[in-house]
A = this chain, B = another copy of it.
Amino acid sequence: MKILITSGGTFEKIDSVRKITNMASGRLGALIADEFAKCGESSPQIFYVCGESAIKPTASGVDIIEISSVKDLLYELTVLFEKHKFDAVIHAMAVSDYTVQKVIQPDGTGYESSEITSENLRENKISSELDELIIVMKKTPKIIRMIKTVQPDTVLVGFKLLSGVTDDELRLAGYNLLVKNNCDFVLANDLTQIEGANHRGLLIAPDSNYTSFSTKQEIACGIVSSVLKSIQN
């Protein structure tokens, strides 16, 4: 059995020291990896693709692949999908929806993000003395969209994070993500209902039924048992 888990957040560079990221810690992804590692009988091979500063699983034997940007993520997943056929993909990573397109200084000069390379670091550390700075961001491709296209038989779990919505809205948004990306399950959660280990989450199935959890550990166990059942079917 081969399981792929993505976890933590991506980073998009503004210049050689500044970056845009998100609040994802990777804690839930690490718990899910640890839960899968407990499935002794099926001895799963677990791959954990995570953002640089993400929390790592404590279980031994997990293959850990660190990435930084959305571009890196796409590359590493492509490599993995070429080498392995995954029984399940748990896509828990908070992938940046936007990447830096260009940076514009008050005098109108600036640079495209593609110019930020290790060779020209010097030109691309923005001065700390400008009054204002404009960052133009463009949409990144949806990584989740390609997973079932490339590996149609995998059990895919997607994640939807919203902030301060009603339960109906949360379920609807989760279900829409499931349909759009051909997921087998979607974990829908609300930022305002997450604090430390307490973490409310709804695991939505394709028939739009759902199970509700109230801690990160419960979510991890719920996802693993649902995925294992789907794999066995």
Interface of A with B (CB < 8 Å)?
Answer: 14, 16-23, 53, 94, 96-98, 101, 120-122, 124-126, 128-139, 161-165, 191-192
Q: How far is the CA of A164 from the CA of B191 in the complex (A)?
A: 40
List, in ascending order, chain B residues with CB within 8 A of A101's CB: 132
Q: A132-B137, A139-B132 are in contact. Are A19 and B20 (CB under 8 A)?
A: yes
22 contacts between A and B (CB under 8 A): A14-B20, A16-B191, A17-B94, A17-B161, A18-B22, A18-B96, A19-B20, A19-B21, A19-B23, A53-B53, A97-B126, A97-B129, A98-B130, A98-B133, A101-B132, A121-B192, A122-B164, A125-B162, A130-B139, A131-B139, A133-B136, A133-B137
List, in ascending order, chain B residues with CB within 8 A of A19's CB: 20-23
In the complex, the answer to whether A136 meets B138 with C-beta atoms within 8 Å is: no
List, in ascending order, chain B residues with CB within 8 A of A161's CB: 17
Q: A132-B136, A132-B138, A134-B134 are in contact. Are A121 and B163 (CB under 8 A)?
A: yes
Please tell me how many copies of the chain the complex holds: 2
Q: How far is the CA of A191 from the CA of B120 in the complex (A)?
A: 12
Closest B residue by C-beta to A25: B53
In the complex, the answer to whether A21 meets B18 with C-beta atoms within 8 Å is: yes
Q: How far is the CA of A133 from the CA of B139 in the complex (A)?
A: 8
Q: How far is the CA of A227 from the CA of B163 in the complex (A)?
A: 47
The 10 closest A-B pairs by CB, nearest first: A122-B164, A97-B128, A133-B137, A125-B163, A135-B135, A121-B163, A121-B164, A16-B163, A17-B22, A17-B23
Given A132-B137, A132-B138, A134-B134, output 6 extra A-B contacts at Cβ < 8 Å. A18-B22, A19-B22, A98-B130, A121-B164, A133-B136, A134-B136
Most buried by B among A18, A23, A131: A18
